[in-house]
Structure 1
Amino acid sequence: MSALAINTTTAIDYTEMEKVPAHVVFPELFEPSAVMIQRRKNRHPDCIPSNPMYIPDPEVAKLALVWLVAPHQLLSLGLQGHTGTGKTELALYLADKLNLPIYIVKIHARMNPQDLEGSYVLDAEKNKTITRKEYGPAAKAYRNGGVLLMDEFDKASGELTSAMHLLVEGKPWPLEMFKETIAKHNQCYVIGTANTYGSGHDERYITSNQMDQAFLSRFMWLETQYPNVVQESKILEKFAPRLPLHLRNDIIKLANALRDAALGTNRDGDIDDPIQCIFSTRVMIAWAYYIQTFGAFRKLKQSLDAVFLKSVTPEDAGIVKDIVEKVFGDDINKPLKDLLAKK
């Protein structure tokens, strides 16, 4: 008699937790110590790898982590900051390190509540066409657990924010599309990113909408800032090690001079006649990258044109040109090979 094959395959419990030393999970945030942190033991298929080049701001990242690992999230988490300050990167970083699936909803003014919920789709089953539910990313995260990232949610219409009140508060959420109500999973974490605090039209972020206080009060707010000089030095050293130190330093110097002109030296917007363009960390990294990929025989200005200068408005162009010349002088019109030879 032949032996029967025994199926030992078991379903993976993606909600099972394990305790791991904090410095192992977050070496950028914690020194080796006895501090332990809980994370999911098994990595979910919907996890997304974070940017290996990302260097978090320690204080903001720790506060966001405190919110995430707390026994209860009494409020959703709002990450506010200028473009390119790492709001989305921070959410991806935390989810990745804690093995949490992350579901990203790109908010825009024309989005309606049904876009968050999902829809009915046609499918084939046993040679027949059937209709089945397909939950949207927001409903999937709320129902099954994971990080729900509402990216640029200050772009939402009043209709959409009204429909999201129960969602961001963690209450049972009615899905009108499916005529059902779902409860929030105990491992669902709602995070929103925004350029503004929902104040409405902004000269720099013209598509941001005004949001009512009832909606905004359902968030715990953290503000993301551009990295300081030391942090950006580490970022460029990690991302563009082939560029000479003096060139990396000048790139950072230009970034901060342009931010001074846009946001003031304290980065609080207290400045007369600010320029509207922002030289973000993202732009800084892109310029360093394209300086290298454009090659040794092309001028620095060619790559700067491509990543930044061509998008500057005519009103700001003269001021920006003066700042570039003040920081770089004649070097901006020299090919990379000349600067590589410079001591």
Structure 2
Amino acid sequence: MSALAINATAPIDYTEMEQVSAHLVFPELFEPSTVMLKRRKHRHPDCIASNQMYIPESENAKLALVWLMAPHQLLSLGLQGHTGTGKTELALYLADKLNLPIYIVKVHARMNPQDLEGSYVLDVENNQTVTRKEYGPAAKAYINGGILLLDEFDKASGELTSAMHLLVEGKPWPLEMFKETITKHPQCFVIGTANTYGTGHDERYITSNQMDQAFLSRFMWIETVYPNVIQESKILEKFAPRLPLHLRNDIIKLANAFRDAALGVNRDGDIEDPIQCIFSTRVVVAWAYYIQAFGVFRTLRKSLDSVFLKSVSPEDAEIVNDIVSKVFGDDIDKTLKDLLAKK
């Protein structure tokens, strides 16, 4: 057999690294320069394509990259922010660009440690039923490397966070289900997303749980925020270029009016009687999409009802409708056809 044939069947080393230009991988973050970074040379089957419409907030993305590129991750990375500020999108974006597999755990209050570890499953081999172990997403990431994304981990119970102490610290992690202890792969990165800093129940995020300081102190925290007007304008220009500029601007104006009423003008929660609904960038993009999808003969209110207004609590409804009227006036009840003709 020739050497060429042998090489053709050689297994791919998914941990092999390459030096690449930071601008080539992250043109949104870096200008052409001599800055280089390391990424996996080969794309792993467990990689997930990120949202091509996503535009990262530059400073937060660079800080997350500093954490990823450091020789050691002394702490796991916590991404905290309100709903729709791009926490999960940032993790998916970094994993995609760096050819890192990503394993997502959707954390909830009823999750137990075994959900992270895995379980025994029945399988058929040679016409015989056999029992084999199947590692859970957290164990797979720990063993094989990649990003372990603990999504909404402030929903976890005290039992679960206690079981995750060694996991998020990068220490040898005992899997009680399989009676074995696994060690962290050198290319395993643990990221958690949360709406709170583990302070527990609040009026907006009622399913968030209180977490002890021993667990929280194992994270380096980055706060994600809603894009500023310029950033959000770029997002809508990219996502809905056929909508007229004046309409895109009014959508962003309405989003920020709602955020002022919910979080205060400085987005620090310093506001009396805040509304509880949040008009996130996710809702901004969804509304722009459904304005177009609903067609030119339906009003803006029709699509806004569907993506946002119907989910507003009765306590907030009057204030919310007043804000809509102040920003859009009569235009909210006009069809897209009428607004496209507006100069």
CA distance in 2, matches of 1:338, 1:213: 56
Structure-1 residue corresponding to 2:256? 256
CA distance in 2, matches of 1:269, 1:250: 24
Structure-2 residue corresponding to 1:93? 93
Structure-1 residue corresponding to 2:18? 18
Structure-1 residue corresponding to 2:184? 184
CA distance in 1, matches of 2:150, 2:320: 33
Matched, 1:285 2:290: no
Q: How does 1:256-275 map to 2 (within 5 A)?
A: 256-275=256-275
Q: How does 1:1-343 map to 2 (within 5 A)?
A: 7-8=6-7, 9-343=9-343
Aligned length: 342
Deviation at 1:35, TM superposition (A): 0.4
Deviations 1:19-62 (CA, angstroms, capped at 9, x unpaired): 00000000000000010010000000000000000000000000
Runs of 4+ in 1 over 2 A off after TM superposition: 2-8
CA distance in 2, matches of 1:127, 1:288: 54
Deviation at 1:72, TM superposition (A): 0.3
CA distance in 1, matches of 2:202, 2:20: 44
Deviation at 1:4, TM superposition (A): 12
Aligned-partner residue type, residue 137 of structure 2: P
Give the alignment's TM-score, normalised by structure 2: 0.98
Aligned-partner residue type, residue 232 of structure 2: E
Question: Structure 1: where are the runs of 5+ without partners?
Answer: none
Residue 63 of structure 2: SS of its match in structure 1?
A: helix
Q: CA RMSD in A?
A: 1.3
CA distance in 2, matches of 1:132, 1:41: 32
Residue 266 of structure 2: SS of its match in structure 1?
A: coil
Residue 78 of structure 2: SS of its match in structure 1?
A: strand
Aligned-partner residue type, residue 65 of structure 1: L
CA distance in 2, matches of 1:5, 1:164: 46
CA distance in 2, matches of 1:194, 1:138: 17
Residue 225 of structure 1: SS of its match in structure 2?
A: coil
Deviation at 1:193, TM superposition (A): 0.1
Give the alignment's TM-score, normalised by structure 1: 0.98
CA distance in 2, matches of 1:3, 1:74: 47
Deviation at 1:6, TM superposition (A): 5.2
Distance 1:41 1:271, change over 3 A: same
CA distance in 1, matches of 2:40, 2:3: 35
Deviations 1:277-309 (CA, angstroms, capped at 9, x unpaired): 000000000000000000000000000000000
Residue 193 of structure 2: SS of its match in structure 1?
A: strand
CA distance in 1, matches of 2:113, 2:227: 36
Deviations 1:199-226 (CA, angstroms, capped at 9, x unpaired): 0011000000000000000000000000
Distance 1:16 1:312, change over 3 A: same
Residue 222 of structure 1: SS of its match in structure 2?
A: strand
CA distance in 2, matches of 1:6, 1:278: 58
Distance 1:333 1:14, change over 3 A: same
CA distance in 1, matches of 2:59, 2:78: 15
Aligned-partner residue type, residue 127 of structure 2: N
Deviation at 1:128, TM superposition (A): 1.0
Distance 1:75 1:5, change over 3 A: closer
Residue 211 of structure 2: SS of its match in structure 1?
A: coil
Q: Percent identity?
A: 84
Question: Structure 2: where are the runs of 5+ without partners?
Answer: none
CA distance in 2, matches of 1:66, 1:304: 39
Residue 164 of structure 1: SS of its match in structure 2?
A: helix
Deviation at 1:126, TM superposition (A): 1.1
CA distance in 2, matches of 1:200, 1:81: 14
